[in-house]
Amino acid sequence: MTFAPVISPLSTSKSLKIKILDTLKPNTTYSFNFGNSIVDNNEENKFDYFKYVFSTGNYIDSLKLSGKVKDAELIFPEIPTTVMLYEMNETFTDSIVYSEKPTYITVTKDSTGTFELSNLKEGKYLLLALKEKNNDYIFQPQNDKIGFVAQPITLPTDSLYTLTLFKETPDYKFIRPSQVGKNHIVFGYQGRADSLNIEILSEVPEDYSSMVFKDEKKDTLHYWFKPAIQADSLLFKITNKTSLDTSTVRMRELFKDSLNISALKTGTFKLQDTFKLRANTPFVSFDVSKFEVMAKDSTFVEASVKLNTEYNWAEIYFPKKEDQQYEVKLLPGAVTDFFEKTNDTILFKLTTRLAADYGTLSLTLVNIDRFPIIVQLVDGKYNIVAEEYLTVNKTVFFDELSPEKYFLRIIYDDNKNGRWDTGSFLNRMNAEKIIYYPKQIEVRANWSLNETFTLK
């Protein structure tokens, strides 16, 4: 139906009235699925998955279709998930999922992800699942996860189908830049922008120079330039692989940014962690002799420094011992920024814990179909805690694991780019396959786990 029916009353009643706002098709079976929305008035016991079925013809369609919904990244799918059938008739196109509601709808019933579509008529269909944000039965890639069967479904069938949900990576799109400081412009984008390049087209002084680095949290490039330009606007060319955009930035009288340095992380560190510093303006050089690392017994620890120009980090490497406290001091002039400004004295403190406070995991892999693979250990919120990239089979060892429960998973990196890649509905391409270890792994302090992951 194009328009949702009006159901009344919405309060306590022994009866429901359904007012249909569309013209019904002839010889068609219709179903009203109430899900868990009907409850009794006294104790609110649910009338689970009540469905009212009627037909405008001489019979009620009775075909069924069953299956299961999974999530490409998560060990369990989110519930409820909507499962849909689009009739592939003479007006069907792939773009229909972006603009029109499906012919048939149902939802998964529990965390197992099982579903059943019933009262179906014979024919050819597109089968897909959506985990929606707006619950409007329309696929909106920026918000929704989608899963699909690449080939048309022909009813009747006895086959069971599995739909794997994933969130599409949006197509690259340039977002209009804006000036946020006297010498600072931000360029936003969405999608993958591994080859994004910014070039100024406006006339600039001979001594003009610029630097760019990525924002560590947002899809944004920070563009810094000098000297400051006395112009109403600046014109830029922005390229990303085959994409080309031009954009004008209106210039304003803003304050100049001063150098500000902070740590990405303080507090407790693992022995293999790297201490990293960020700055609001671009780092250009450092003097390692002005970086001092001191242990709690007042002995100095030799350190090395490396600039990460992609994210504008100063990475400080030094050997750490367990159950230790360290002070990282930057003496004046330790770092110099794009505007030839240097730091004042800055002090950071960090600590390490006893090795006995952590656990380890040794993992043997069996029945790996192909390589390369990515072995990942993730926490309860699916944050990556440890990972290893394998091109051949070998024992995987993760150490310094905080005591808690983890999920273990294998990613088949079929395009060999070192990361998990999602899929595309229009290209009928599913996400790269992820396989989870069948049980959660509990790591305990001062405990060594030995596990075998046999893939089926």
DSSP string of 275-296? EEEEESS-EEEE-GGGEEEEET
CA atoms within 13 A on the CB side of 86: 25
Question: What averages of pLDDT result for each successive group of 10 residues across the chain (456 residues)?
Answer: 75 80 84 75 73 85 96 93 96 95 92 93 97 94 96 96 96 94 96 92 96 96 96 96 94 95 97 97 98 97 97 98 97 98 98 97 97 97 97 97 97 96 95 96 97 94
The closest of 234, 271, 270, 231 to 249, measured between CA atoms, is 234
- Three-state DSSP state, 97: helix
Q: Full-prediction pTM beyond 0.75?
A: yes
The pLDDT score that the predictor gives to residue 1 is: 61
The closest of 175, 76, 190, 79 to 141, measured between CA atoms, is 190
Q: Tokens for 51?
A: 């469905």
Q: Tokens for 112?
A: 């197992």
The pLDDT score that the predictor gives to residue 23 is: 84
The pLDDT score that the predictor gives to residue 266 is: 94
The DSSP letter of residue 381 is T
Q: Quick one: which H or E segment has residue 101?
A: none
The pLDDT score that the predictor gives to residue 211 is: 98
The pLDDT score that the predictor gives to residue 342 is: 98
The pLDDT score that the predictor gives to residue 51 is: 77
The pLDDT score that the predictor gives to residue 11 is: 73
8 A C-beta contact, residue 326 and residue 368: no
The pLDDT score that the predictor gives to residue 30 is: 80
